[in-house]
Amino acid sequence: VKVRKKVNEMEPYVPGKSIKEIAEKYGLREEDIVKLGSNENPLGPSPAAVRAMEEELESVNRYPESGLQDLRETVADYSGVDAEQVIIGGDGADEIIEVLGKTFMDPGCEFVVPMPSYMYYEYTLQSHDARPAYAVWNVEENRLELDSVLESLSDSTRLVFLCTPNNPTGGLIDKEDIRAVLESTDALVVVDEAYFEFAGVNNVDLLPEYENLFIMRTFSKVMGLAGMRIGYGLGSPALIEYMHRVKPVFSLTRLSHAAALATLNDREYIRRSAEYSIKSREFLYRELKKFDNIRVFRSYANYLLLDIRDTGKRASELAEELLKRGVIVRDCTSFKGLDEYWIRVSVGTLREDRKFLEVLAEIV
Ligand code: PMP
């Protein structure tokens, strides 16, 4: 068969390994593995979400709701916008990126993405024949280089991705910098707030002022539903209407729909999850500071970025040694803008943090 030229040239995207894969590869028991590789909620899902999914099981012979009006209203209430400003993605926020691609990308168009940042923007948009224009995330100072974003804008720019807190560095983008970008372009500025609950700040207040602002979020982090694949986006009603024209109609399963509603109605779970991960993050940060051959960066999310070059090991080696001992972290070598000496570690339960610290101390 003859696939598209673009697809022929693409490399597959390789996400982090699962607990099952690691257990098999290293001969470990699944229950002994500490997974700190994908920035998930370590406390498990909301019990209300589990009950809601159990109840919904009997209805899975029926297609999902396609309008999702109740969920859009509940997300709107949680976020402080109107229901017609909400779009739900059934393959997580990653589906929202795909829908943005289908809505905005003509062949030859450009999108701006700082480096290092979330890799999936570029991976998804390359199949739309779009060109990346790279801006700079200053890792040392953990802040966006605003000028580099402004300089990357051109007449062909259709999308600008600003991730705050930024994955994998954990730094925040100043609201004034977001404003400056919004005012410098007609392109859609996509502010990725996947981790905003751990930062305690967000940019929803800018939505009424800027038609070219879109905010993207997920149920995979503080909401504890990474396995259910639910994301959402907030924008102007006109933008959301365009995006619905190209969104897959039934991508949100009945179980995901039920789980999302139940979790949003369990505000106490969301609050407790955020509070726990923040406490755990600060513990892990303090403990990592005590290693004299590791540099740890301040983070506003549920992960920490580590510079491990002074250990004399590459990230791939260190990650492999941790894996053998049952701890999964993210080797950041594939992130554009980082060399081969960076590790990202998710914040776990305090017990998981301690196991990571013990194992790390044995290796470095
Ligand atoms: N944005 C950022 C910054 C992320 O880190 C992630 C998850 N790794 C996503 C978006 C996508 O989240 P999901 O597809 O699980 O909703």
Interface ipTM: 0.99
CA-atom Rg of the chain in angstroms: 20
Residues with CB under 6 A from ligand 1: 92-94, 118, 163, 167, 192, 194, 218, 220, 226, 231
Residue written as token pair 């991730």: 163
- Is residue 270 within 8 Å of 222, Cβ to Cβ? yes
Closest-CA residue, ligand 1 atom 8, reads 38
Ligand 1 pocket test: pick from 97, 218, 332, 344 the residue with the most ligand atoms within 8 Å of its Cβ: 218
Residue 17 buriedness (CB in 10 A; 0-12 / 13-18 / 19+): middle
Distance CA 72, CA 82 (A): 9
* SS3 (DSSP) at 295: strand
CA 213 to centroid of ligand 1, rounded, Å:
18
Q: Which pLDDT does position 13 carry in this prediction?
A: 82
CA-nearest residue for atom 6, ligand 1, is 194
Model confidence pLDDT, tens digit, residues 137-162: 999 999 999 999 999 999 999 999 99
CA 364–ligand 1 middle distance (angstroms): 30
267-311 confidence digits (pLDDT tens): 999 999 999 999 999 999 999 999 999 999 999 999 999 999 999
**Treating both helix axes as pointing N-terminal to C-terminal, what angle do 47-56 and 254-264 enclose, rounded to 10 degrees?**
150
Nearest to 252 by CA among 92, 109, 362: 92
Could you give the angle at which helices 267-289 and 254-264 cross, rounded to 10 degrees?
A: 80
312 Cα: distance to centroid of ligand 1 (angstroms): 31
- Whose Cα sits closest to atom 1 in ligand 1? 194
Q: Which residues of the chain have pLDDT under 50?
A: none
- Residue that has been written with the tokens 């390359």 in this structure: 126
Give the span between the Cα atoms of 16 and 18, in whole angstroms. 7
CA of 218 to the centre of ligand 1 (A): 7
pLDDT of residue 95: 97
* CA–centroid distance, residue 93 to ligand 1 (Å): 6
Q: What is the pLDDT of residue 343?
A: 98
d(CA 78, CA 73): 9
Q: pTM for this structure? A: 0.97
Residue from 39, 96, 118 whose mutation best tests the ligand 1 pocket (most atoms within 8 A of CB): 118
Q: 358: CA distance to ligand 1 center in Å?
A: 29
